[in-house]
């Protein structure tokens, strides 16, 4: 059993980064996730294992520092919150286009614009549909607990290198600020030069040896036929993610007549709603997508023929509900309930919405 601690979600992101052997973190302060960099600075991992932690002059600089360090084959990450992620969008597109692995954490706050520092899930579309320009996808993990904040940093790096693709941890202000018990992994060493050669030696810009041609990290290609090929290669990779790395949790869905679909903090509220509804004799289940991209569309399609309806519960104006509708394909009712502007709904509110929009509606 690893070390047990009581920690904030944001602090745990930092601890997991250090302990899994991350090489570098570049970031810029923004509420509600500033504890990530503060914890890293307090822990001083450069003294213990050589991990680089640097406060950049902006989110734009942060993501391009990530690009540079990731190009060297290292394990690199950044974190921010919604407006900061918007600033990073161009850089994220470059990372995806150049097929560089990295972990990006978005502890979402309410928008649009400067919005609010209160929790939100309004960046679902931005995270799952690209966010920057061009046809690309991030692999998106949605933690619903402080433990998952920890685990998804570790998993995030594994998946980032499996696919040579940026991975986004799409959290929200609730999970970021929440304190819970967490089991930390034991300290793992950073990759040695020998490991780096094995893992990224055939593409990383680590210095051109006489024995190999130069490595160039770029997303640029002026020949349209080659550029289309590059795009097709990316699309194939995203299809492979759909085949191999869809993650979800299905709670009390076996006998369910209605299914709530929610991710992150919203899923925790819905878990309580399931209990409340079942006490009243309504058979309700919960599907919690853990990967938002790839989305568990097959699972939802399967249940679409079995249930009377799905209710998508989100802290936004209804974004994931569109992915549910696509998966359901008109086979059953799909409704949405959500709150915005930093308001977190109660389990009873969700239960009332279920009653009104699906059971009686």
Partner 1 sequence: MAEVSDRIKEIIKPENLVYAKSPVLNDDIMHYCPGCSHGVVHRLIAEVIDEMGIQDQTIGVAPVGCSVFAYKYIDIDWLEAAHGRAPAVATGIKRVMPDKYIFSYQGDGDLAAIGTAETFHAVNRGENIVMIFINNAIYGMTGGQMAPTTLIGQVTSTTPNGRNADLNGYPLRITELLAQLPGAAYVTRQSVQTPAAVRKAKKAIRKAFEIQAMKKGTAFVEIVSTCSSGWKLNPVDSNTWMEENMFPQYPLGDLKDGARTDADLYRIKG
List contacts with partner 1 (CB under 8 A). Answer: 23-24, 26, 52, 54, 56-58, 60-62, 64-72, 74, 76, 90-91, 94, 98, 205-210, 214-220
What is the signed CA dihedral for 295, 296, 301, 307, rounded to 10 degrees? -120
Least separation, in Å, of the C-beta of 217 and partner 1? 4
| Choice between 218 and 305, CB closer to partner 1 | 218
Instruction: Work out how close the CB of 37 gets to partner 1 at its nearest, in angstroms, rounded to a whole number.
Output: 15
DSSP letter, residue 309: E
Residue 334 contacts residue 354 (beta carbons within 8 Å): no
Distances (CA, A) of 208 to 70, 202, 216, 218: 16, 11, 10, 16
Q: Least separation, in Å, of the C-beta of 153 and partner 1?
A: 18
What CA–CA distance (Å, rounded) separates 125 from 131?
7
Mark residue 291 as left, alpha or beta (left: phi above 0; alpha: psi -120 to 50; beta: remaining): beta
Q: Which is nearer to partner 1, 8 or 190 (CB)?
A: 190
Least Cβ distance, residue 83 to partner 1 (angstroms): 16
d(CA 293, CA 169): 11
Q: Which is nearest to 269 in space by CA: 311, 299, 229?
A: 311
| C-beta of 220 vs 232, nearer to partner 1 | 220
Q: How far is the CB of 255 from partner 1 (least distance, A)?
A: 52
Q: Which is nearer to partner 1, 77 or 122 (CB)?
A: 77
Query: 119 and 342 in contact (C-beta within 8 Å)?
Result: yes
Decide whether 177 or 231 has the Cβ nearer to partner 1.
231
Buried b (16+ CB within 10 A) or exposed e, 13-40: bbbbbbbbbbbbbbbbebebbbbbbebb
Minimum distance from CB of 176 to partner 1 (Å)? 25
Nearer to partner 1, 94 or 248 (CB): 94
**Measured from the CB atom, is 65 or 300 closer to partner 1?**
65
CB of 205 to partner 1, least distance (A): 4
In 3D space, the residue among 17, 85, 95, 89 whose CA is nearest the CA of residue 53 turns out to be 17
């Amino acid at each position: 059993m690893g070390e047990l601690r009581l920690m904030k979600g944001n602090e745990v992101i930092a601890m997991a980064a250090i302990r899994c052997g991350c090489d570098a973190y570049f970031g810029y302060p923004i509420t509600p996730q500033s504890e990530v960099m503060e914890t890293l600075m307090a822990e001083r991992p450069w003294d213990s294992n050589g991990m680089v932690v640097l406060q950049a002059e902006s989110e734009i600089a942060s993501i391009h520092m990530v690009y540079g360090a990731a190009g060297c084959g290292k394990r690199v990450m950044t974190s921010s919150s919604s407006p900061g992620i918007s600033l990073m969008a161009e850089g994220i597109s470059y990372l995806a286009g150049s097929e560089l692995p990295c972990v990006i954490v978005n502890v979402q706050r309410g928008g649009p614009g400067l919005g609010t520092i209160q929790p939100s899930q309004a960046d679902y579309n931005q995270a799952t549909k690209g966010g920057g320009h061009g046809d690309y996808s991030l692999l998106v993990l949605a933690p619903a607990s402080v433990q998952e904040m920890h685990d998804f940093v570790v998993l995030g790096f594994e998946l980032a290198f499996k696919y040579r693709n940026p991975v986004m941890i799409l959290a929200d202000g609730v999970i970021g600020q929440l304190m819970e018990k967490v089991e930390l992994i034991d300290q793992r060493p950073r990759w040695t030069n020998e490991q780096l050669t094995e893992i990224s030696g055939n593409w990383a810009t680590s210095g051109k040896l006489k024995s190999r041609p130069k490595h160039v990290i770029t997303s640029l290609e002026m020949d349209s036929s080659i550029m289309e090929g590059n795009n097709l290669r990316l699309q194939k990779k995203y299809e492979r993610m759909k085949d191999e790395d869809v993650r979800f949790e299905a709670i009390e869905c076996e006998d369910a007549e209605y299914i709530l679909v929610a991710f992150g903090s919203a899923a925790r509220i819905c878990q309580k709603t399931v209990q409340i509804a079942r006490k009243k004799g309504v058979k309700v289940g919960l599907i919690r997508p853990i990967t938002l991209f790839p989305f568990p569309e097959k699972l939802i399609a399967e249940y679409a023929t079995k249930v009377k309806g799905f209710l998508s519960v989100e802290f936004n104006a209804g974004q994931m509900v569109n992915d549910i509708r696509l998966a359901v394909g008109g086979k059953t009712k799909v409704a949405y309930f959500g709150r915005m502007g930093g308001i977190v709904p109660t389990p009873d509110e969700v239960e009332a919405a279920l009653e009104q929009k699906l059971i009686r509606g």
